[in-house]
Structure 1
């Protein structure tokens, strides 16, 4: 395997792992619970990680790495849509998600007392860019780089 493909694989493993890690740190460390569209952005990153891991064991590695890059791009595009909803550029979902604790007790009370997580409100921003916006920027750029490096690599 040449250097370009090794670099693409490394990115395909590291980018979704870091973005998912950041999502879980913000959720469990800082109480920024995900809305439904936040979850939509996580699923392609899980898939990208699995595909990148498959590239280590099942040939041809280039195929799995390219699929991983495409999954990362999908997450970025979902993040772009979500950011547009947060900024009010277009309408998103009409339903919202709730964060229910696993502390036991009456499940109905847990549901009724859970905070409502809105998809159209950014709970945190950095330089005016929401978490969904950052996912859009990081995922689309890195996903495109992974696909480009994989396509350019010699077999």
Structure 2
């Protein structure tokens, strides 16, 4: 049986919700603070959840397109972050290398506990499984979710407001 358009959209949206729940679980239960690039990767998933709600409520063709684009953006960010972690290219100055947020601080500022802000480096792998980091798994999962959004788009629009007379 071929899944319906709404079922595919639901799977894609709930997939993004599962990814966000896992990220928050690693952060708050596992104690792995996210770096700046990790946080960037969360936003497209939050957007995809909102797009799922909109697509299921009002139908149309543009919301699945937007959901697929959000997942492609998340996959691109995950691939970029993977490259930063593996030192294939430089990442943002704010969270990679020797500079970053620490470069403008004096010695006294560095020793002042009131100014202490945790710096999580984007070019350091905090967790990996089978040689892949969380950023790599996000890229792969986001590509799979983009495929679900694309499959939903191919099912055609669900016009909630059509008169079936």
TM range (shorter): 0.7 to 0.9
Could you say which structure has the larger radius of gyration?
2
State the partner residue of 1:142: 145
Deviation, structure 1 residue 57: 1.7
What secondary structure, in the 3-state scheme, does the structure 1 residue paired with 2:84 have? helix
Do structure 1's residue 132 and structure 2's residue 131 form an aligned pair? Answer: no
State the partner residue of 1:8: 8
Structure 2 residue runs of 5 or longer lacking an equivalent are 102-111, 158-165
What secondary structure, in the 3-state scheme, does the structure 2 residue paired with 1:116 have? coil
Task: Say whether the 8 Å CA contact 1:37–1:119 is kept in structure 2.
Answer: yes
2: distance between equivalents of 1:23 and 1:137? 15
1: distance between equivalents of 2:42 and 2:4? 26
Runs of 4+ in structure 1 off by over 2 angstroms are: 108-111
2: distance between equivalents of 1:71 and 1:7? 18
Structure 1 residue runs of 5 or longer lacking an equivalent are 99-107
2: distance between equivalents of 1:59 and 1:139? 22
Do structure 1's residue 95 and structure 2's residue 98 form an aligned pair? Answer: no
Deviation, structure 1 residue 75: 0.7
Task: Say whether the 8 Å CA contact 1:92–1:120 is kept in structure 2.
Answer: yes
Q: Normalised by the size of structure 2, how large is the TM-score? A: 0.78
Deviation, structure 1 residue 110: 4.8
CA RMSD of aligned residues (A): 2.0
Task: Say whether the 8 Å CA contact 1:13–1:52 is kept in structure 2.
Answer: yes
Matches within 5 A, 1:23-102: 23-60=23-60, 62-96=61-95
The one-character-per-residue Cα deviations of 1:58-106 (angstroms, maximum 9, x if unpaired) are 232x4212311221221111011001100111111111299xxxxxxxx
Deviation, structure 1 residue 116: 1.7
Q: Normalised by the size of structure 1, how large is the TM-score? A: 0.82
